[in-house]
Amino acid sequence: MPSQSVPVPPVASAPLVPAISLRSDLTTQRSTRRVQLTPKYGSRACAVDVRYLWCGAPDAPTVIVQGGISASRDVLALDGEAAPGWWQTLVGAGQAIDLDRYRVLAIDWLTPADLSEGDAAVVSSEDQADALAALVDALGIGRVHAFVGYSYGAMAALAFAARHPYALDRLVLLAGAHRAHPLATAQRAVQRSIVRLGQDCGQPEQALALARQLAMTTYRGSDEFARRFTAAPEFRDGRFHFPVEDYLEQAGRRFVERFDVERFLALSESIDLHDITPEQVPTPATLIGFPSDRLVPLADLCELQRRLLGPATLEVVESPYGHDAALKESDRLAPLLREALM
């Protein structure tokens, strides 16, 4: 659940990465495919429309790339799109996840609304994995070269490897583990309670913005907050406003513009329900963790590494950016990703 860049951000906040001009010999599908799956919390199979992006060198091996719950299939921007993709700095022709060598496949996360043909009111990381596996099948991809997952994406990647091991050659997991940490669950449970309070009293959007504010306090490292927000509070509109508060309020407002309450509740809960047995995952894995990540403590990645059935390496990247390091430390992550995909 990272604080990803907004799909259509104001100009001032857009990262300084231009949308790449996709070469004409790269294949691109940005489409929807109907697949069948049986939701974990449902009792029967249902048809689901999966919105996906599949893009890269023709006939190249496919790499699945999935981010946090607020990420979309738009890992990178396509020609003519104003906004950069959420991992624009690492995915592209000539970049760490190189579209000259791979085809990248990504989906929009499913929500319970997508499962409406069935009877499941809850979506699981296993459902996301099954949807991806069915899509891989429907697109005739065969084996997937790698599943690169960040945050909730790492959870879905583990679920994919546990349930469809013969469809996948390797795992690359950034800041995500076999289960949510109970402290992180506590923080998300409060976020969901805020939103439900807002729904009860007719202020769902204001509550969603507040829940996002709380989420923002969990993404960055403690030292980064200390460095950025040293100024004195300002008295205005009848109360003191602290610099960090202005930052949070802006982030909350922007989130509401691009996310809705039900989607937030469902995907937030899905993170906390995630529970995979690492001993059932045979796929070779590269784990990447950040010591300043308070949402996914490094200790959880150490435990995951120890328990995975397949061989696993753990790369530790020092960064002030906490859980957001996967979005901020592109230069440090690029060589690790290149090596993990080899």
- Where do contacts with its own copies occur on this chain (CB under 8 A)? 122, 181-183, 185-187, 189-190, 193-194, 197-198, 200-203, 206-207, 210, 213-214, 216-217, 222-223, 225-226, 228-230, 232-233, 239-240, 242-245, 248, 269, 272-273, 275, 294, 297, 299
| Paired tokens of 149 | 């997952």
Q: Closer to its own copies at the Cβ: 93 or 189?
A: 189
- 323 classed as catalytic: yes
What's the Cα-to-Cα distance from 58 to each of 46, 131, 144, 215, 217, rounded to whole Å?
Answer: 32, 23, 15, 39, 42
Q: Which of 293, 300, 324, 330 is catalytic?
A: 293
Q: Closer to its own copies at the Cβ: 116 or 242?
A: 242
Q: Closer to its own copies at the Cβ: 223 or 260?
A: 223
Q: Which of 108, 268, 323, 324 is catalytic?
A: 323
Q: Tokens 């696993």 correspond to what residue?
A: 312
For residue 263, report the phi and psi dihedrals to the nearest 5 degrees. Answer: -60, -45
CB of 125 to its own copies, least distance (A): 14
CB of 292 to its own copies, least distance (A): 11
> Cβ of 305: how many Cβ atoms within 10 Å?
19
CB of 182 to its own copies, least distance (A): 4
Number of C-alpha atoms within 13 angstroms, CB side, residue 57? 14
Residues contacting 166, CB < 8 A, separation 6+: 143
Q: Which of 3, 125, 151, 270 is catalytic?
A: 151
Give yes or no for a contact between 124 and 145, defined as CB atoms under 8 angstroms apart: no
Pairing of strands 146-150, 103-107: unpaired
Q: Closer to its own copies at the Cβ: 100 or 303?
A: 303
Nearest to 87, CA basis, from 310, 256, 327, 250: 327
CB of 298 to its own copies, least distance (A): 11
Nearest to 107, CA basis, from 179, 166, 35: 35
Q: Closer to its own copies at the Cβ: 166 or 239?
A: 239
CB of 295 to its own copies, least distance (A): 10
Amino acid identity for residue 236 in this structure: R
Q: Closer to its own copies at the Cβ: 135 or 325?
A: 325
| Paired tokens of 202 | 């007719």
Residues contacting 224, CB < 8 A, separation 6+: 292, 320, 321, 322
Q: Work out the burial of residue 57: count CB atoms within 10 Å of its CB; fewer than 13 is exposed, 13-18 middle, 19 or more buried.
A: middle
- 145 classed as catalytic: no
CB of 148 to its own copies, least distance (A): 26
- 270 classed as catalytic: no
| Paired tokens of 215 | 């989420």
Which residues form the catalytic set?
151, 293, 323
